[in-house]
Structure 1
Amino acid sequence: MLKWIEGRSGWALLAALGALFPLFAGNDYRLTVMSTAYIFAIATLGLNLITGYTGQFNMAHAGFMAIGAYTLGILTVDYHVPFWIAFVAAGAVTAAIGLPLGWLSLRLKGHYFSIFTMCVGVILFLVLEKWESLTHGAVGLMGIPGPSPIGPLKFETPAQMYYLMFAFLVLGAWVMKRITHSLLGRTFIAIRNGDDLAEALGIPLMRTKLLAFIVSVLYAGWAGALYAAFVRFVGPDVAGAQNTFDMTMYMLVGGLGTVFGPLLGSIAVPWLTQMMQFLQEYRFVIFGPLLIALVIFFPHGIAGSWMAWRARRAAAAVRPVAPATLPATEAPGA
C-alpha cells in the first residue's frame, strides 16, 4: 500500500484530498488546524533531511524556524518591506545564519552535535527574548501583515490561506522527494550509515553535511515565515525546545528517513490531540502511553516500519532454494 502511495498515483490522490479538504471541513477552525499542521510539516521535512537522511539530530531546528518568522515580522512591521520580498529574505537570512553555525557544529559528531545545537537553540531563544530594540523582546511582534495578492489571487479568508499553505507544502514535498531520490540524497544516506564508509566512497563529508544542514534550516526558515504570516504574531516561544520536540515526535510517528512519514506524523498527531480535547487535562495521560507503544512496537514509525516489513518480504521471496537431493545411482551389476 505504501509503495502505491509513494508512486505518482498515490501522491496525486493525496494532493486531490488536500485540495478538496475545505469543501468538507465544515468550519474555519478545522481549516486553521490543518493549515498550521501544513506549516509544521514543511519544517519537519527539513528536520527529517538532516536527521532522518543524514543522521545529525539538530535540536535548534525551532530556533531557525523562529529566525525566519522574526525576519519576516521585522521587515514587514518595522521597515514596511513588501511581503514577498520579506519572505524571500527570511529564507536568505536563515541560511546565512545557519552557514557558520552549521560549519561549526558539524565538526562534532553524534551526541556532541545534538548537545551543541541544543545550546544554540537556547541562545537563539535568549537573543529573541532579550534584544528588545530589534525583536521587541518578550512582547513579540504584533500586526504582521498577511501575504499580499499575487495577481488575481488573494489570501484574506481562512480558505484562501489554507490553499496557500497547502501549495507551499506540495512544493516543499516535491522538492524534498527529488532531493532524496537523487544522487545527492544517496550521499546523505551514505553519511548516515557511517562517516568512514562515506569517506571510502569519496564523499566530501563536511561539504555534504553542510549542504544538508543549509537545506534543512532553509525549510525551517520559510516555514517560520509562513507561520508568522498566518498567525500575524510571533514571540520568542517559537524558538522553544517544545517545537523541536514536537517535530521530532512527528518524525518518529511517521517514520524517519522517508518523505511520506513526516507528512503523516505532522498531520495525524495534531488531529489526534484535537480529537482528545474532550478529555481536557487527561488526554495526555492517554496520548503518552499510545506514543510509547508506537515507539516500542513500531520503532521506525508507521511508514518506516511498513517499508522495513516490505523489504523483508522481498528478501524472503528471492532467497535461494537449496537444490533437491538426487537419489543415489545403483552400482553396475548390483
Structure 2
Amino acid sequence: MKSLFNERNTLLLLLLVAIAFPLVIQNNYYIQVMILVFIWSIAVYGLNTITGFIGQLSLAHAGFFAIGAYSLGLLTVKGNMYFWVAFVFAIILAAAIGLLVGLVALRTKSHFFAIYTMSVGFLIYLIIYKAEFTGGVRGLIGIPNPPDLGPITFNSMQSQYYLVLFFLVLTIIFMRRMVRSLIGRTFVAIRNSDELAQTLGISVMKNKLIAFVISAAFAGMAGALYASYIRFIGPQVSDVHVAFEILLYLLVGGIGTLTGPILGTFIVVVLTQMLQFLEEFRMLIFGPIVVLLILFYPRGIVGGYLMWKFKRKQKQAKVNGTASKQQKSA
C-alpha cells in the first residue's frame, strides 16, 4: 500500500487529474483560474531554487517576471518576431540579466541580499514605467497568442490550458531531476552552511550564481506565458508587491520542497478568487488565515507534513527499539 502512494504515483495521479480537469469542468472561469495557478507556479518554482534550496531571499523575482513578459510583448508586437523565437529569447534575456544582477547581488548576504534584489526589482519597475519603448504607464497591448504548431492550435481556452500545463510539467521534471542530482545536493549544502560547503571544496559563488540564473529563467518563462495569455501587460507586473505575492505562495506551500510551490499557489490563488466578493475587505479574512498558517507551519504545509512524517518515523523506530530490547531481556 505504501508503494502505491509513493511520490512518483502521486505526481502521475495529479497529472491525470490536471489533464482531465477542463474536460470535466466545462466552465471557462475555473479554467482561467487554473491557468493562472500554473503560470504563477512556474514563477514560484524559480524563486524556490534560489530561496528554498540556496537560502537567499530574492525580491527581484517580479522584475525578472516582467522582463520575460515585456521581452515577448515587444519582440512580437513591435519587432514582428515569430512568437516561439521571441519566447525563447525572452527566457534567455531574463537569465542573462539574472546573471549580471547575480554577479553583484551574491557578493552580499542575508538581509543585504534581500534589500539589494528589492532595489533591482524597483529599478526594473521604474524603467518599465518611465520608458517610452515599453509603453510607459499605458502598457503594451495586442500581444499575440501562440501560433499553430502543425495541427495543434491555441485559439481556445482549453488549448491554452494544456500549453501552460505542458510547461509546468517540464518545470517540475527539471526541478525534480535537479534536486536529486549532485548540483541539487550542493545547493542544500550551501543553504545549510556556506563555510562548511567551502571547506568541502564547493565553489559557493559559482553554485549560487547558477541557482540565481535558473531562478530568473523560470521567472522569465512564467512572464512570457502570462503575457501571451493575458495579451496585455502594464508596469504593475513588475511591482514589488508581486514579488511578495510570489514569496507568499512559496511560504504557504512549503519552502525548499518540490510540491510546495504548486500547492501554495493553488491555495492562495483559489482562496483569493473565492473572497473577491468582499473586495477590499477580503484581506481582513485572508490575512489572518495566512498569518496563522505561517505561525503554526513555518515551513509551509508540505514542510509541516514532511516534519510530522519524520517525527512519526522516529517515534515508531523508538517504539520498535524499546520492544526489541524488552524481548531480548525476557
Report TM bin, short chain: over 0.9
CA contact (8 A) 1:143 1:233 kept: yes
Shift in CA distance, 94/21, structure 1 to aligned 2, threshold 3 Å = same
Shift in CA distance, 3/73, structure 1 to aligned 2, threshold 3 Å = farther
* Cα separation, 2, equivalents of 1:312 and 1:2: 18
* Cα separation, 2, equivalents of 1:281 and 1:138: 23
* Cα separation, 1, equivalents of 2:310 and 2:255: 16
Shift in CA distance, 106/23, structure 1 to aligned 2, threshold 3 Å = same
1:288 and 2:287 equivalent?
yes
Shift in CA distance, 100/281, structure 1 to aligned 2, threshold 3 Å = closer
1:265 and 2:271 equivalent?
no
- Helix, strand or coil: the match of 1:151? coil
- Given the two structures, how large is their TM-score scaled by the length of structure 1? 0.93
2:81 aligned partner, one-letter code: V
Deviation string for 1:101-136 (max 9, x for gaps)?
10100000000000000100110000111111x212
Q: Which residue of 1 aligns with 2:56?
A: 56
The CA deviation at 1:24 is 2.8
Q: Which residue of 2 aligns with 1:114?
A: 114
- Helix, strand or coil: the match of 1:54? coil
Shift in CA distance, 255/172, structure 1 to aligned 2, threshold 3 Å = same
* Cα separation, 2, equivalents of 1:147 and 1:304: 37
Q: Which runs of 5+ in 1 are unaligned?
A: 328-334
1:21 and 2:25 equivalent?
no
Shift in CA distance, 3/190, structure 1 to aligned 2, threshold 3 Å = farther
* Cα separation, 1, equivalents of 2:264 and 2:169: 16
Q: Which residue of 1 aligns with 2:227?
A: 228
Q: Which residue of 2 aligns with 1:72?
A: 72
1:212 and 2:211 equivalent?
yes
CA contact (8 A) 1:144 1:229 kept: yes
* Cα separation, 1, equivalents of 2:286 and 2:311: 30
The CA deviation at 1:3 is 9.3
* Cα separation, 2, equivalents of 1:88 and 1:115: 30
Deviation string for 1:178-219 (max 9, x for gaps)?
111111111111111110111122110000000000001000
- Helix, strand or coil: the match of 1:259? coil
Shift in CA distance, 211/6, structure 1 to aligned 2, threshold 3 Å = farther
Report the identity percentage: 46
The CA deviation at 1:278 is 3.1
Q: Which residue of 2 aligns with 1:124?
A: 124
The CA deviation at 1:281 is 3.1
Tell me how many residue pairs correspond in the alignment: 326
- Given the two structures, how large is their TM-score scaled by the length of structure 2? 0.94
* Cα separation, 2, equivalents of 1:318 and 1:106: 42
2:128 aligned partner, one-letter code: L
Alignment of 1:1-334 (within 5 A): 7-132=7-132, 134-319=133-318, 321=322
CA contact (8 A) 1:73 1:141 kept: yes
Structure of larger gyration radius: 1
Shift in CA distance, 4/177, structure 1 to aligned 2, threshold 3 Å = farther
Shift in CA distance, 98/34, structure 1 to aligned 2, threshold 3 Å = same
1:150 aligned partner, one-letter code: L
* Cα separation, 2, equivalents of 1:284 and 1:23: 33
Deviation string for 1:3-57 (max 9, x for gaps)?
9766111000000110011123232111111101110000000001100111011
* Cα separation, 1, equivalents of 2:246 and 2:94: 18
* Cα separation, 1, equivalents of 2:257 and 2:6: 10
CA contact (8 A) 1:5 1:11 kept: no
1:301 aligned partner, one-letter code: G
Shift in CA distance, 237/280, structure 1 to aligned 2, threshold 3 Å = closer
1:112 aligned partner, one-letter code: F
Deviation string for 1:223-268 (max 9, x for gaps)?
1000000000111111111111111111111100001001101111
The CA deviation at 1:323 is 5.4
- Helix, strand or coil: the match of 2:225? helix
The CA deviation at 1:2 is 11
2:123 aligned partner, one-letter code: I
- Helix, strand or coil: the match of 2:228? helix
Query: CA RMSD of the aligned region, Å?
Result: 1.9
Q: Which runs of 5+ in 2 are unaligned?
A: none
* Cα separation, 1, equivalents of 2:73 and 2:35: 19
* Cα separation, 2, equivalents of 1:6 and 1:106: 37
1:45 aligned partner, one-letter code: Y
CA contact (8 A) 2:37 2:262 kept: no
CA contact (8 A) 1:2 1:303 kept: no
Q: Which residue of 2 aligns with 1:330?
A: none
* Cα separation, 2, equivalents of 1:206 and 1:75: 33
